[in-house]
Amino acid sequence: MQALALATVALAVGACSATTPGSPTAATIGSTSVIAPSPVGTSTEPSTSGSPTSSARPTDGLDHLDLGQGLALSVPFGSATVSPFQHRESDECKMAQAQVTTATGIFDLWLIGKDCPQANQRALNGNHGHYLEPPSHATDVAAAQKVPAGSLVTFGQTYTECTNSCNDYPDAVGLVTLAHPQDANLPVLQIIAPRAADRDVTTVVALAQSITPTS
């Protein structure tokens, strides 16, 4: 009887030591020893799943916004948003369009195909023209000036919208002949200022000075 009691105590002690909280539990199935996993939450290692990546802003105080087509917009933090270039295929020629939104309004940006016809264009009903150089109806054509992406020429034109009646509005336009276009078939960047600019080309010049090549 005394031997039986001692054996019972030994089994009890062994059972307690085999199930210490946080330790793997050994079980025997047939002749194979299986280690059960530790209870959830007992690991002291930090989880890396879903860890955020570094989003530190550049130290120059600027947002560098990718426009696509080898161009970027560098502006003070939070001062603009962009919709990158998307190709706009037509029967006439190849083009790409992007938009830049600032406190002034929405600037339309176009990369103009070298084969786009230039004759008889009119700024009418949503189409502000697609120019490789200032058209014959352009006003206040300025001398070319250097900008980071190439050479800029600005001018004004009259834009017309017609529904039941027609109304004329002033346009401010800039054409940047790109020094190193990513696509040789799209050699000119056209910038159309929002209507709020009221033909003030200074907004076009400022934007063109902020557009830089990415390579």
In tens digits, the chain (215 residues) has pLDDT values of: 444 344 444 444 344 444 444 444 444 434 434 444 444 444 444 334 333 334 556 678 899 999 999 999 999 999 999 999 999 877 679 999 999 999 888 999 999 999 999 988 889 998 899 999 999 999 999 999 999 999 999 999 999 999 999 999 999 999 999 999 999 999 999 999 988 777 789 999 999 999 999 97
Whose structure tokens read 């933090």? 77
**Contact assessment for residue 107 and residue 192, using Cβ atoms and an 8 Å cutoff:** yes
| Residue 115 DSSP symbol | T
| pTM of the predicted protein model | 0.72
